[in-house]
Structure 1
C-alpha cells in the first residue's frame, strides 16, 4: 500500500471495524441487561412474532385459570345454598311424618303445617336470593339458557367453554308448599295430605340431589381443567423462554470477545491516525 496523504485508508478500515465491534458490544450489553435474546424485531423477526403469539396465549391461559376458579366459586355458592335447602327439606319431611300419624288431630296438624309452609317459603327465599356477582343461580335463571364459562385460547364451544345449567329449586318447582297448587306436597293439614306429602318431599330431595351431583361433577371437571391450563401455561412459558431469553453464559462469552475487539479497534485506529505523519517526515526532510 502506498504512503499517501489524501486518504487514510488504514484509519477508515480501523474505524469501520470499530463501529462493527462497538455495535456488537452494544447488542451484547443490551441482551445481558434485559435478559432477552430477542429484544427488537431486528434480532430475530420470526422469533419475535412467535414469541408475541406465545405470550398472548400464556396470558389467555392464565386468565382462563382465573375464569375457571371463579366458576368453582360460583358452583360452591350454589351448592352451599342447596345444602341449606336440604336441611329445610329434611325438616319438612319430618313434619309430614309427624302429621301423617293418627295420634294428632287436624287442629294440631294445622300448627305443624304452619312450620311446614314456613320451611317452603324459606326454600323459595333462598332460591331467589342466592346469586354470584349479581347472577341468580337457583331461581330458574340458569335452567334454560345456562351460563358459558370460557377458559380456552380460542372460540370453540367444545374445547373452550363449559355451559353451566342449574335447575330451579324454589318450593313451587319442587311441588311443595302453598305455592304448589294441587300438588300432593301443598300442605300437611290433614293426615291424608301429610301422607301424600312424604312422597312429594322424597321427589324434591332427589331433584335437589341431582342438581348437587351435577354441580359436584362440574366442579371436578373445572379443577381438572385448571390443572391442564396451568400445565399448558407452564410449557408455553418454557417454549417462549427458549425463543426469547438470552443464554447468559453464551452471551457473556460474546460480550468479552466484542469488548476485546472494540479495545483493539480503538488502539489500531489511534495507530492508523498517526501513520500519515510518516509522509510529513518525508516532506520536511
Structure 2
C-alpha cells in the first residue's frame, strides 16, 4: 500500500538492515578474535564452561612450573651433595693413609691439616647451599612442599621435600676427629664411613623425589594440552563456517541498503499520483 504519513516498508527494511549489520559485526568480531564466544550473550553456558576450563588450565600450567622449580631445587641439592661426596671420599682416603704405621708424626700432621680443611669445607658447602634464599642442607627438621594442583576429587597433589643437615658436625666428623696417630686415624676412618652412609641415605631421597616430580610435570603437561583442546572446541570459532556466515551477512547488508533506498522513495511515488 502506498502511503505518505507512515512508510512501513522503509521501517521494515531499516529493521532488517539493522539485524544484518549486527550479525555482520558479530562475524567480524569472531573472526578477528578467533573466538566463537566473546561475551555472555553469545553463549552464556558455553562462556561459563570456558572460564572454568581456563582457570583449570592456568592452575595445571602453574603446577607444572612448580614441579619444574622443585626439580631445580633438588638438582641444586644433588649438585652440592656430589661435591660433599667427593670430599668425604678424600677424607676417607686420608684416614686410611694415616692409619698405617709407615708415616711419621710430621706427615700425619700434614694429612690432619688437609683433613680439617676438608671437614670445614663440608660445613661451608652445607651452609651455603640455598634455593630461593632457603637453606637446604643445614636444616634437618624442615621441608619444602612442592604443590602441583588438585586431582578430580579436589585432593591436593604435592611432594614434601625434606631438607637435611649434612654439616660435618651433624655427620659426626667433629673437630675431635683427627689423624694425628694411627689409632685416631682408625677412629676417623670408621667415622667417615658412617658419615658417607648417612649422606647416601639423604641423597637417595633426592633421586626418587626428582623422578616423581619429573613424571608429575610430564603428566601435567599432557593434562594442560588435553584441557586446552577441550577449551578450544567449546570457544574457538570455526573459521570456514564463520566466513560463510560473514559473506552471507555482507550480501544481506548490501541488499538491505538497496531496499531501504527503494523503500524511502515510496512516499514520493504516492505524491506523484496526487499531481
Q: TM-score, normalised by structure 2?
A: 0.93
1:157-185 CA deviation, whole Å, 9 max, x = no partner?
A: 9643221103210111111131xx6xxxx
Structure 1 residue ranges (4+ consecutive) displaced by more than 6 angstroms after TM superposition: none
Gaps of at least 5 residues in structure 2 are none
Paired residues of 1:18 and 1:266 also in contact (CA < 8 A): yes
| 1:220 counterpart SS class | helix
Deviates more, 1:121-130 or 1:51-60: 51-60
Paired residues of 1:75 and 1:215 also in contact (CA < 8 A): yes
**Could you tell me which residue of structure 2 aligns to residue 124 of structure 1?**
123
**Could you tell me which residue of structure 1 aligns to residue 174 of structure 2?**
177
> CA–CA distance in 2 between the matches of 1:88 and 1:17?
85
Paired residues of 1:96 and 1:197 also in contact (CA < 8 A): yes
**Could you tell me which residue of structure 2 aligns to residue 109 of structure 1?**
108
> CA–CA distance in 1 between the matches of 2:274 and 2:155?
89
TM-aligned CA deviation for residue 190 of structure 1: 2.3
| 2:5 counterpart SS class | coil
Paired residues of 1:24 and 1:258 also in contact (CA < 8 A): yes
Paired residues of 1:89 and 1:205 also in contact (CA < 8 A): yes
TM-aligned CA deviation for residue 105 of structure 1: 4.5
| 1:151 counterpart SS class | strand
**Could you tell me which residue of structure 2 aligns to residue 241 of structure 1?**
232
1:250 aligns with 2:249: no
1:208 corresponds, among 182, 195, 199, to 199
| 1:147 counterpart SS class | strand
**RMSD across aligned C-alpha pairs, in angstroms?**
1.9
TM-aligned CA deviation for residue 107 of structure 1: 4.7
Gaps of at least 5 residues in structure 1 are none
> CA–CA distance in 2 between the matches of 1:79 and 1:53?
39
1:246-282 CA deviation, whole Å, 9 max, x = no partner?
A: 1100001111111111112212112222222332122
TM-aligned CA deviation for residue 128 of structure 1: 0.8
Deviates more, 1:158-167 or 1:211-220: 158-167
TM-aligned CA deviation for residue 125 of structure 1: 1.0
Q: TM-score, normalised by structure 1?
A: 0.89
1:181-224 CA deviation, whole Å, 9 max, x = no partner?
A: 6xxxx223222222222222111111111111111111111111
Paired residues of 2:150 and 2:156 also in contact (CA < 8 A): no
Paired residues of 1:117 and 1:177 also in contact (CA < 8 A): no
**Could you tell me which residue of structure 2 aligns to residue 223 of structure 1?**
214
> CA–CA distance in 2 between the matches of 1:19 and 1:95?
92
2:256 corresponds, among 246, 265, 272, to 265
